[in-house]
């Protein structure tokens, strides 16, 4: 459709989704990919473009569904949506679970928000699904049959607000051993073409491809290890939640408007304007045409 997808973004997303549909020997592939960054950077939009290019119709969830008046309801809903996506995969179509703004629904935003049982259970449920992706049960429905593995993509502004063990290596950013196969997967994707990945992985007579175990050098392992450490450090270092919450405070939010003179309120906010005392009523003896009323005009209107 003429939209641009950042190559590095598409690479991360395509490799993560592809790896989750492959059987890599003795490798525990991370289930959840966390995409975080500042507001308006196109996280959700770019994800949708990549899904469309890969022919995936994801099961969507938003932060608003991660809280409820009933304790345990959001955790149950996550499991339900995960199983819906698993059913689509069983029918031979590629699918994933996409959760928008996870930190807004399950994160702890300073002292201004209450940490509820549901926040706790959402974090715990995601950790449990990441550990047992092929055995996700609903209350009262315990099937012995394994369900297909469903990759989970989440977006957010500040993952440092989430429960710390959820974003450790192996849940979000990928364990070191899983990174070993990234280059092999990239080569296979380049040969197959992004548009035809779904047909070759989910609904194919040949089955998913198999790879020989790559030879690893100490330098390569150190490089992957440093990348993982850097990703974790970035989450801790860039505390966007604190920044956005402070900007939402009344004083900071209106600071620019006050400087430019576009913000008019009570007289207390006009302190810095050098206007002599006077009245905005033209009939009064001390009428002053430069004095301002509360609506920003120089005259009272009836």
List, for residues 216-251, the tens digit of each pLDDT value: 777 877 877 787 777 767 666 666 555 555 555 444
Q: What's the pLDDT score for residue 269?
A: 45
What is the pLDDT, as a whole number, of residue 212? 74
pLDDT at site 150: 92
For residue 141, the model assigns a pLDDT of 74
Low-confidence ranges of the chain (pLDDT < 70): 1, 105, 107-115, 161, 163-178, 232, 234-286, 288-302
Q: Which residues pair with 61 in a beta bridge?
A: 99
Domain ranges of the chain: 7-169
pTM: 0.70
Task: Give the model's pLDDT for residue 267.
Answer: 44
Tens of pLDDT, residues 86-116: 999 988 888 999 988 887 767 666 665 666 7
- Maximum distance among all alpha carbons in the chain? 94
How much is the pLDDT for 208? 73
- Return the pLDDT at 157: 80
- State the pLDDT at residue 295: 57
What's residue 250's pLDDT?
Answer: 46
Per CATH, domain 7-169 is 2.60.40.10? no
pLDDT at residue 40, rounded to an integer: 79
**pLDDT computed for residue 62 by the predictor:** 86
């Amino acid at each position: 459709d003429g939209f641009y997808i950042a190559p590095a973004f598409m690479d991360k997303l395509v490799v993560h989704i592809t790896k989750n549909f492959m059987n890599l020997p003795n490798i525990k592939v991370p289930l959840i990919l966390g995409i975080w960054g500042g507001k308006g950077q196109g996280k959700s939009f770019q994800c949708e473009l990549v899904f469309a290019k890969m022919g995936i119709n994801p099961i969507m969830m938003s932060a608003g569904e991660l809280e409820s008046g009933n304790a345990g309801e959001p955790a149950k809903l996550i499991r339900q949506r995960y199983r819906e996506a698993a059913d689509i995969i069983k029918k031979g179509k590629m699918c994933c679970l996409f959760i928008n703004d996870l930190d807004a629904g399950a994160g702890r935003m300073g002292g201004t928000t209450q940490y509820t049982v549901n926040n706790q259970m959402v974090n715990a449920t995601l950790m449990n699904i990441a550990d047992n992706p092929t055995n996700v049960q609903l209350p009262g429905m315990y099937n012995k049959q394994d369900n297909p593995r469903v990759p989970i993509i989440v977006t957010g502004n500040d993952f440092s607000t989430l429960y710390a063990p959820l974003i450790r290596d192996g849940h979000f950013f990928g364990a070191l051993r899983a990174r070993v196969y990234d280059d092999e997967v990239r080569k296979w994707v380049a040969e197959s073409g992004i548009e035809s990945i779904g047909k070759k992985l989910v609904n194919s007579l040949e089955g998913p491809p198999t790879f020989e175990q790559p030879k690893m050098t100490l330098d390569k392992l150190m490089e992957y290890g440093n990348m993982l450490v850097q990703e974790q450090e970035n989450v801790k270092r860039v505390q966007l939640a604190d920044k956005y919450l402070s900007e939402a405070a009344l004083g900071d939010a209106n600071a620019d408007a006050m400087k430019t003179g576009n913000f008019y309120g009570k007289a207390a906010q006009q302190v810095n304007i050098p206007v002599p005392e006077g009245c905005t009523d033209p009939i009064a003896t001390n009428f002053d045409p430069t004095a301002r009323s509360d609506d920003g005009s120089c005259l009272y209107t009836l």
